[in-house]
Chains A and B, each alone.
Chain A
């Protein structure tokens, strides 16, 4: 792991601060609309997902803020990484994240995404999610209660409306950095190949 936690962050965020994401009043208006209509991908990646159903249903009603669930990554804006990420889950998260359309945000729940949390010495989980995909908002706790998640969403809304939540641009600009880290833990990420042998016999599917 590279040393210098804070130095890394400033390197990454250095040239992005000059790029203010809302340039005109139209952009401000669009960001306002984006903040008030958030579609969350229905994907519970870790043990923090147990707190998601109460948040989105009648008990703690996140729909008041305009937040609703969405089944496919094509329709979703936010993906919630709820808790620890094993390598197996990380691969699916990355693939799903790349299928979402910009602008997209990541909300990371729990202390496992910040520094490994309860699984700080596990052989099978990643310790710092920021190395692999860019995160917009952390909600710490283990696991954070629905009230905390709602507060995280409200903060995320404020960031979106200010135009500061631009993690997708960060991902595109620093793609090699993220890709190197991903390949280091996941091995050679194999894309589907055309040249593989067609094992289908002549009778069809």
Chain B
């Protein structure tokens, strides 16, 4: 299965790049088959092609790692081609029928893959939420069809205008409900964290990098083509507030986590919150797509990195890892680059997308939302540092960790590729802008100003990524040379216990890996305690209990005596007929 994966993914990567922005691929009118006016088709618009390239390239990168992994780690690779085909169907569809077919195949294939490794509770949570999402989207599609009888995206806005205002609200609510569940917005994320944690390590990479972007794609199509969000300020504000709240809550929940994959899952929720917020803003589409690209790359990098560490050490909790930096130096450098991009720091690529997001919000005068988003972004430094400290820095917590080797080269090759791309994007942040401008023109938005590949501009100001990167490298080199050439010798510490420990000598039994529980003292701050004490499981338990209670009450209507039930049924029939007529 490994070779099938890599060959197919390579073919599809080449194919999707060739197909970039070529227009309609295939169209079929179903009027011949009795559904008048219904047209389905596949179209490679600029937006579709970009997401298709992201899907196939992610598939290719994961296939490289699958090539030489252990058999027990890659049982999901049998289903990966089918899953990727369904994603390509979602992305290339130009109407909602094929979109929904792709969406359902995606949900079910993911269920099959997850059923191998997830516990029963987590699996049930996943499938119930996936089905709820699919049915909600189906409801929205049906309401949209009732507008002018067409499911094409291009007719979407006309269908929307043809509905009366109650149906419009219903359409928006149902569609957003379905998409929020898939995107993992806080409140609807009940399934996401357990699924990411218990899935195969490499499949978590696929889940976080690619599957969440399908919801983003659908959201872009819905908000920009169908609803045209730049004309409705109320919906903008509501979506922006939901996005920012989701980011802040997910960031603080990530700070508390001990398991590495759960931490990265909450981090995904937070990053998707940023994308949701900036989509809601007028002229925010460029920043949203740029951030999706960067987020896909960095989550692939970090999840593959963690997959390597878990495969080698067999542990996935921060309290059981530690001190791996000099045993796995390549992995450490890759994780460091991933951390810097995830936190959004210059000079690497993460800053470019954050810059576009911030300037879009500033242009549209959503100032308080921008402050809250910068707050969430700065708070992410905590869990980002916790991740790299708990795994690589600090002191090892077990004897086995003193004798690990570096991961195999097949885990490192994808990480090298992605890091190189992130460094190039950091130095030339406007490389992607011409392609973004093609998408923006096709969707009738204002373009991002573009001069050359190194200057990323917005209305409020611009910055030159090349200058930042070269200044950084230049100053780094000069300071390093200076430090080397000073007379004072560098004395290496004798062993890992040679630390300044108040005159005491720490031994093997002293718990020195202190920082794995970073951030615990934040519980004394008011709003963080509220975030940590409550959980959406309380809400869903309450929902389940109320449903059971209501059902218990309505069950009592059936008294076991058939004549009374017959009379009640006749009474209800009379009432309905009377009121209906």
Q: A95-B505, A204-B319, A204-B320 known; A72 and B500 CB under 8 Å?
A: yes
Q: Which residue of A lies closest to B512 (CB)?
A: A205
A192 contacts B397, C-beta separation under 8 Å: no
Question: Chain A interface: which size bin?
Answer: 20 to 34
List 27 A-B pairs, Cβ < 8 Å.
Answer: A72-B500, A92-B503, A93-B503, A95-B503, A95-B504, A95-B505, A96-B503, A99-B498, A190-B505, A191-B505, A192-B507, A193-B508, A194-B495, A194-B508, A196-B507, A196-B508, A198-B398, A198-B508, A200-B399, A202-B398, A203-B320, A204-B315, A204-B317, A204-B397, A205-B397, A205-B511, A205-B513
Let me know if B509 is at the binding interface, CB within 8 A: yes
Q: How far is the CA of A73 from the CA of B499 in the complex (A)?
A: 10
Chain A residues whose C-beta falls within 8 Å of the C-beta of B500 in the assembled complex = 72-74, 99
B398 contacts A204, C-beta separation under 8 Å: yes
- Our pick among B398, B497, B498, B504 for the contact of A200 (Cβ within 8 Å) is B398
Chain A residues whose C-beta falls within 8 Å of the C-beta of B317 in the assembled complex = 204
Let me know if B81 is at the binding interface, CB within 8 A: no
Which 7 A-B pairs have CB atoms at the shortest separation, nearest pair first?
Answer: A92-B503, A204-B320, A198-B399, A192-B497, A204-B319, A205-B511, A72-B500
Taking A202-B398, A205-B513 as known contacts, 4 extra A-B pairs with beta carbons closer than 8 A to each other, sorted by chain A number, are A95-B505, A191-B505, A192-B508, A198-B399
Let me know if B516 is at the binding interface, CB within 8 A: yes
Name A185-199 residues within 8 Å CB distance of B.
190-194, 196, 198-199
0/1 string, B398-413, CB within 8 A of A gives 1 = 1100000000000000
Interface residues contributed by chain B, number (CB under 8 Å): 22
Q: How far is the CA of A203 from the CA of B397 in the complex (A)?
A: 9
Chain A residues whose C-beta falls within 8 Å of the C-beta of B497 in the assembled complex = 192
Let me know if B149 is at the binding interface, CB within 8 A: no
Q: A99-B500, A205-B319, A205-B513 known; A200 and B505 CB under 8 Å?
A: no
Name B504-549 residues within 8 Å CB distance of A.
504-509, 511, 513, 516
Q: How far is the CB of B283 from chain A (nearest CB, A)?
A: 49
Name A156-200 residues within 8 Å CB distance of B.
190-194, 196, 198-200
Q: How far is the CB of A171 from chain B (nearest CB, A)?
A: 15
B516 contacts A205, C-beta separation under 8 Å: yes
A-B contact count, CB below 8 Å? 53
Chain A residues near B (Cβ < 8 Å): 43, 72-74, 92-93, 95-96, 99, 101, 190-194, 196, 198-200, 202-205
Q: How far is the CB of B245 from chain A (nearest CB, A)?
A: 34
Q: How far is the CA of A193 from the CA of B399 in the complex (A)?
A: 13
Residue among B500, B504, B505, B506 with the most chain A CB within 10 A? B500
Q: How far is the CA of A74 from the CA of B500 in the complex (A)?
A: 7
Chain B residues whose C-beta falls within 8 Å of the C-beta of A203 in the assembled complex = 320
Interface of A is mostly: loop
Q: Which residue of B lies closest to A96 (CB)?
A: B503
Q: Which residue of B lies closest to A73 (CB)?
A: B500
Residue among B315, B397, B508, B509 with the most chain A CB within 10 A? B508
Chain B residues whose C-beta falls within 8 Å of the C-beta of A73 in the assembled complex = 500, 503
Q: Which residue of B lies closest to A193 (CB)?
A: B508
Q: Which residue of B lies closest to A94 (CB)?
A: B503
Q: How far is the CA of A194 from the CA of B494 in the complex (A)?
A: 13
Q: Which residue of B lies closest to A197 (CB)?
A: B508
Q: How far is the CA of A92 from the CA of B317 in the complex (A)?
A: 35
B509 contacts A200, C-beta separation under 8 Å: yes
Residue among A43, A93, A96, A205 with the most chain B CB within 10 A? A205
Q: Which residue of A lies closest to B503 (CB)?
A: A92
Q: How far is the CA of A73 from the CA of B500 in the complex (A)?
A: 7
Chain B residues whose C-beta falls within 8 Å of the C-beta of A190 in the assembled complex = 505
Q: How far is the CB of B495 from chain A (nearest CB, A)?
A: 7
Name B475-496 residues within 8 Å CB distance of A.
491, 495
Q: How far is the CB of B169 from chain A (nearest CB, A)?
A: 51
Residue among B317, B398, B491, B504 with the most chain A CB within 10 A? B398
B398 contacts A192, C-beta separation under 8 Å: no
Q: How far is the CB of A87 from chain B (nearest CB, A)?
A: 14
Q: How far is the CA of A196 from the CA of B399 in the complex (A)?
A: 10
Q: How far is the CB of A26 from chain B (nearest CB, A)?
A: 10
- Our pick among A192, A196, A199 for the contact of B495 (Cβ within 8 Å) is A192
Q: Which residue of B lies closest to A100 (CB)?
A: B500
Chain A residues whose C-beta falls within 8 Å of the C-beta of B507 in the assembled complex = 192-193, 196
Q: A198-B399, A200-B398 known; A192 and B319 CB under 8 Å?
A: no
B516 contacts A192, C-beta separation under 8 Å: no
Chain B residues whose C-beta falls within 8 Å of the C-beta of A200 in the assembled complex = 397-399, 509
Q: How far is the CB of A96 from chain B (nearest CB, A)?
A: 5
Chain A residues whose C-beta falls within 8 Å of the C-beta of B491 in the assembled complex = 101
Q: How far is the CA of A112 from the CA of B398 in the complex (A)?
A: 45
B505 contacts A199, C-beta separation under 8 Å: no
Chain B residues whose C-beta falls within 8 Å of the C-beta of A101 in the assembled complex = 491
Q: How far is the CA of A198 from the CA of B503 in the complex (A)?
A: 23
Name B282-318 residues within 8 Å CB distance of A.
315, 317
Q: How far is the CA of A69 from the CA of B495 in the complex (A)?
A: 28
Q: How far is the CA of A142 from the CA of B503 in the complex (A)?
A: 26
Q: How far is the CA of A92 from the CA of B502 in the complex (A)?
A: 8
Chain B residues whose C-beta falls within 8 Å of the C-beta of A72 in the assembled complex = 500
Q: How far is the CB of B257 from chain A (nearest CB, A)?
A: 15
Q: How far is the CA of A24 from the CA of B516 in the complex (A)?
A: 51
Chain B residues whose C-beta falls within 8 Å of the C-beta of A193 in the assembled complex = 507-508
Q: How far is the CB of B127 from chain A (nearest CB, A)?
A: 32
Chain A residues whose C-beta falls within 8 Å of the C-beta of B315 in the assembled complex = 204
Q: How far is the CA of A199 from the CA of B507 in the complex (A)?
A: 11
Chain B residues whose C-beta falls within 8 Å of the C-beta of A74 in the assembled complex = 500
Q: Which residue of B lies closest to A199 (CB)?
A: B509
Chain B residues whose C-beta falls within 8 Å of the C-beta of A202 in the assembled complex = 320, 398
Q: Which residue of B lies closest to A30 (CB)?
A: B487
- Our pick among B397, B504, B511 for the contact of A92 (Cβ within 8 Å) is B504
Q: How far is the CB of A33 from chain B (nearest CB, A)?
A: 14
Q: How far is the CB of B71 from chain A (nearest CB, A)?
A: 25
Chain B residues whose C-beta falls within 8 Å of the C-beta of A92 in the assembled complex = 503-504
Q: How far is the CA of A101 from the CA of B500 in the complex (A)?
A: 12
Q: How far is the CB of B395 from chain A (nearest CB, A)?
A: 9
Q: How far is the CB of A188 from chain B (nearest CB, A)?
A: 13
Q: How far is the CA of A191 from the CA of B494 in the complex (A)?
A: 11
Q: How far is the CB of B263 from chain A (nearest CB, A)?
A: 16
Chain A residues whose C-beta falls within 8 Å of the C-beta of B495 in the assembled complex = 192, 194
Q: How far is the CB of A183 from chain B (nearest CB, A)?
A: 15
Chain A residues whose C-beta falls within 8 Å of the C-beta of B398 in the assembled complex = 198, 200, 202, 204
Chain B residues whose C-beta falls within 8 Å of the C-beta of A194 in the assembled complex = 495, 508
Q: How far is the CA of A43 from the CA of B509 in the complex (A)?
A: 26
Chain A residues whose C-beta falls within 8 Å of the C-beta of B498 in the assembled complex = 99
Q: How far is the CA of A96 from the CA of B398 in the complex (A)?
A: 27
